[in-house]
A and B are shown apart, each in its own frame.
Chain A
């Protein structure tokens, strides 16, 4: 249930190359390594400069060092991701590992006014490389006013395993999801946004980790389908990749992914169902929470003692906003969802996962909350009040971190061609997006979905 009313056009998945460029492995990696070393030296250099500039202001000095160490530490965590992922199944006893694992899978797809996309989404579910008798698809038509309902009814004849729940009035995504979950019978429930789908050939990889009984939710890797559309979508493609393959991967190393994305995640029934009603009726400051549903659900799974992981072996595609307005609206919604859920997680994570809490979650929360203030200080206050060069220097520091992240990005995914846009993202994120947090918090009592 994304923000798009219409589909601009269908484009091929361009960031998954037909031919992987054969770069000279050793030379290529060596170049990355050397560049990373230089970048890290520059980071140290910048930090020294900061220390001098903040001369004796230990709060500022501590903060800037802390942020840098934290940002780079996420890359350290991400480097263990691959081993951690293979460990999910390899850690099981041979007996369990070799046993065929094909539990019943239910797809739950809430949608509203998705006449352009819903057919493809449903079709892709049924195309999944998985025994047809072990899957069902439940679509919740949440008060659509366009042809979505008709299309679904048509498709029912085509796919008898398709269940359509038709609501005449719009109840909201959370209700749709809850209803779908309740009506489903699968041991594993795959929740999909109406404009996204798991690429059928990789589907089994999404289910495989559930062999391990401690896994409660698995998040697939999502790439935007409309990457090539414009600069906005290219930038988001770069961001998605970083967000999944570096940030979620870092969380996944420790089995604690805080947000299994709504566009491409699978849940273990017994990990979700006990919480479904509490989750449905979650409220914040006296009003029901309308966004951050995926994050919220993941957090309940974590709280329940299950591990949540990310896998880059299962791939999903989604549609990202193509206009600035849609993009900003989505960001504000995400930030509200992040804030409300972080508050929720803050309260229990230190007991449940003390290491992740203190090495990752609390620092992240602190950095996210303080970044807009520090950015304001560096780009608005200091340049005017003291030293105009401070602006350029701050951006230089941000870009250096972006360089280090990009180098890691180039290391784990040579083929991804959108990496230069990470710099665009870094700049925009620091100078614009981080400030949206203020707006998001100021309007936190506005619980509208705010997409259209």
Chain B
């Protein structure tokens, strides 16, 4: 059939032009689109995420103010950047550790719901806390700066997307800052991942000024083989099974592996984020302070970490029992500090969190406790019961004793502790800690059945520095008082205001330290006593 018109007409020429024009127009439009798209992409303020972040932030501000009306009434205050709550400087810095904030509660012990997290942050804000970053904490621990009273550090482990997305607007709404300890390999290997933050997100976080991105190992956050069959080792605390050699690592191999990981995450993540990374959080909080298959792990890991980082974060006992971090004058020249963190309980309400933080914060003298509530007694071992009006310390059925310390008493120096004791198991000794720094450094007044000893533990070495042994039993079973006084290098232990033992030769290193109690006797599961009240007065 075919077209009757064989030569191109003017109309065909026009259509041809239209086709060319169309192609050019669409092509340029696509180019424009790509251009505008890349501009939008590179301008955070234009991004969808930024808009949703801002909306959420305002929502949380309104929420925090307690409704829209309250919010609008206080707009200037709510938006003002710095609200100085406290003028005094803080005596201790609590550090919180969070992990994920999944959309739905997974009832795990580490992940918190967004609602609970919001309540935690709101409660901290209402209680007047201000947040600090790792450089601030480092300077504080070196004594170079003082921090406002009620300073707190909020940290997140693992570098998870969910925790960032949920927490960020909440932090923004409250002018809070937080630290994100990211596992290096996921962002650095650029693996597509819906669980871990990408390197760009980490950059955005770090650049926002709201987040301090630090290291949580390059690739050491798994469980590793400790034998051909058992897979239960942690990277920084266990020797790992070498399948090719059919043996465990040597000390040197352990050291090399730990050093390599520490170095790689510090340099690679630091380079990618264009910052110096000085803080490291040990995966699982484990650097060998706990049970391990390699007794030298703690020493090597701390040596390696301290040679590269300023701060090493952990959250599991028993390195140091006190839950807050203190400026300790003797340590001011250190270039590395381990930082104890409070592992939050996802089920805590906002008030529970504040209570936990207050319990762990530095306590002032004079201090008295009649045990109507738990003021922060930390069980080191054994069994602790705080019933209204009494504290019962006893041994577990398979142990010989038990011990507790008072949280927040770490920096006390010259004081006299008087405790009313009763219901002592007739063979148990009553040991009173003073100047307790940690398990390896402390003084104690040991009231035995027929002796009073002053014991000093220094760098883990126990020594009785003074003591009196009596020919008959001196320690009553019911209703007696024990006193332990420390003043400078003097220590005095008194039973019922009558029997006294004292020494003037407490070691200088033990200039400060907290209080605690210990019960002990050789028969398993038997030792126990009850403390009715205590009074600590400054000297």
* B26 CB within 8 Å of chain A: yes
Contact call A305/B2, Cβ cutoff below 8 A: yes
Nearest chain-B residue to A360 (Cβ)?
A: B22
Contact call A305/B1, Cβ cutoff below 8 A: yes
Using known A-B contacts A44-B37, A56-B192, A76-B25, determine if residue A84 contacts B3 with beta carbons closer than 8 Å.
Answer: no
- With a CB–CB cut-off of 8 A, which chain B residues contact A41? 36, 40
* B30 CB within 8 Å of chain A: yes
Using known A-B contacts A41-B36, A87-B14, determine if residue A355 contacts B19 with beta carbons closer than 8 Å.
Answer: yes
- With a CB–CB cut-off of 8 A, which chain B residues contact A91? 9-11, 13-14
- With a CB–CB cut-off of 8 A, which chain A residues contact B40? 41, 44-45, 48
- With a CB–CB cut-off of 8 A, which chain B residues contact A254? 15, 18-19
* B41 CB within 8 Å of chain A: yes
Using known A-B contacts A80-B18, A80-B22, determine if residue A87 contacts B11 with beta carbons closer than 8 Å.
Answer: yes
Interface residues of A in 199-221 (CB under 8 A from B): 212-214
Using known A-B contacts A76-B29, A214-B3, A306-B3, determine if residue A255 contacts B37 with beta carbons closer than 8 Å.
Answer: no
Interface residues of B in 35-70 (CB under 8 A from A): 36-37, 40-41, 46, 48
Contact mask A18-47 → B, CB, 8 Å, 1/0? 000000000000000000000011011101
Contact call A49/B18, Cβ cutoff below 8 A: no
* B245 CB within 8 Å of chain A: no
- With a CB–CB cut-off of 8 A, which chain A residues contact B30? 69
Contact call B21/A80, Cβ cutoff below 8 A: yes
- With a CB–CB cut-off of 8 A, which chain B residues contact A255? 11, 15
The contact of A73 among B10, B22, B41, B192, by CB within 8 Å, is B22
* A253 CB within 8 Å of chain B: yes
The contact of B10 among A47, A76, A92, A304, by CB within 8 Å, is A92
- With a CB–CB cut-off of 8 A, which chain A residues contact B1? 274-275, 303-305
Contact mask A79-118 → B, CB, 8 Å, 1/0? 0100110011011100000000000000000000000000
- With a CB–CB cut-off of 8 A, which chain B residues contact A73? 22, 26, 29
Nearest chain-B residue to A46 (Cβ)?
A: B48
* B33 CB within 8 Å of chain A: yes
* B81 CB within 8 Å of chain A: no
Contact call B5/A253, Cβ cutoff below 8 A: no
* A428 CB within 8 Å of chain B: no
- With a CB–CB cut-off of 8 A, which chain B residues contact A212? 9, 11
The complex places the Cα of A304 from the Cα of B2 at a distance, in Å, of: 5
* A3 CB within 8 Å of chain B: no
Contact call A214/B18, Cβ cutoff below 8 A: no
Using known A-B contacts A44-B36, A48-B40, A69-B30, determine if residue A83 contacts B5 with beta carbons closer than 8 Å.
Answer: no
* A243 CB within 8 Å of chain B: no
The contact of B18 among A69, A84, A92, A303, by CB within 8 Å, is A84
Contact call A69/B9, Cβ cutoff below 8 A: no
The complex places the Cα of A225 from the Cα of B33 at a distance, in Å, of: 40
* B87 CB within 8 Å of chain A: no
The complex places the Cα of A265 from the Cα of B127 at a distance, in Å, of: 78
The complex places the Cα of A304 from the Cα of B48 at a distance, in Å, of: 51
Contact call A72/B29, Cβ cutoff below 8 A: yes
* B472 CB within 8 Å of chain A: no
- With a CB–CB cut-off of 8 A, which chain B residues contact A303? 1
Contact mask B235-264 → A, CB, 8 Å, 1/0? 000000000000000000000000000000
The complex places the Cα of A88 from the Cα of B15 at a distance, in Å, of: 10
- With a CB–CB cut-off of 8 A, which chain A residues contact B29? 69, 72-73, 76
Q: Is the interface of A mostly helix, strand, loop or mixed?
A: helix
The complex places the Cα of A213 from the Cα of B19 at a distance, in Å, of: 21
* A380 CB within 8 Å of chain B: no
Contact mask A215-256 → B, CB, 8 Å, 1/0? 000000000000000000000000000000000000001110
- With a CB–CB cut-off of 8 A, which chain A residues contact B11? 87-88, 91, 212, 214, 255, 307
* A77 CB within 8 Å of chain B: yes
Whole-angstrom distance between the Cβ of A188 and the nearest chain B Cβ: 16
- With a CB–CB cut-off of 8 A, which chain B residues contact A305? 1-4
The complex places the Cα of A91 from the Cα of B19 at a distance, in Å, of: 17
Whole-angstrom distance between the Cβ of A225 and the nearest chain B Cβ: 33
- With a CB–CB cut-off of 8 A, which chain B residues contact A45? 40, 46, 48
The complex places the Cα of A305 from the Cα of B12 at a distance, in Å, of: 12
Contact call A253/B25, Cβ cutoff below 8 A: no
Whole-angstrom distance between the Cβ of B33 and the nearest chain A Cβ: 5
The complex places the Cα of A305 from the Cα of B9 at a distance, in Å, of: 14
Using known A-B contacts A80-B21, A91-B14, A213-B5, determine if residue A48 contacts B41 with beta carbons closer than 8 Å.
Answer: yes
The complex places the Cα of A69 from the Cα of B34 at a distance, in Å, of: 12
* A157 CB within 8 Å of chain B: no
Whole-angstrom distance between the Cβ of B36 and the nearest chain A Cβ: 5
The complex places the Cα of A55 from the Cα of B25 at a distance, in Å, of: 29
Nearest chain-A residue to B48 (Cβ)?
A: A49
- With a CB–CB cut-off of 8 A, which chain A residues contact B22? 73, 76-77, 80, 253, 359
Contact mask A282-311 → B, CB, 8 Å, 1/0? 000000000000000000000111110000
- With a CB–CB cut-off of 8 A, which chain A residues contact B18? 77, 80, 83-84, 253-254
Which among A44, A212, A214, A304 has the highest number of chain B CB atoms within 10 Å? Answer: A44
- With a CB–CB cut-off of 8 A, which chain B residues contact A43? 33
The complex places the Cα of A419 from the Cα of B192 at a distance, in Å, of: 43
The complex places the Cα of A254 from the Cα of B1 at a distance, in Å, of: 21
The complex places the Cα of A359 from the Cα of B18 at a distance, in Å, of: 13
> Which positions in B face A, CB cutoff 8 Å?
1-5, 9-15, 18-19, 21-23, 25-26, 29-30, 33, 36-37, 40-41, 46, 48, 192
List 15 additional A-B contacts (Cβ < 8 Å) besides A76-B25, A305-B1: A45-B40, A45-B48, A47-B37, A48-B40, A69-B26, A69-B33, A72-B29, A80-B22, A84-B14, A84-B15, A253-B22, A254-B18, A254-B19, A304-B3, A305-B4
Instruction: List the 4 closest pairs (A to B, CB-CB), nearest first.
Output: A305-B3, A91-B10, A91-B11, A87-B14
Q: List 10 A-B contacts (CB under 8 A).
A: A43-B33, A45-B40, A45-B46, A45-B48, A49-B48, A55-B192, A73-B26, A84-B15, A91-B9, A274-B1
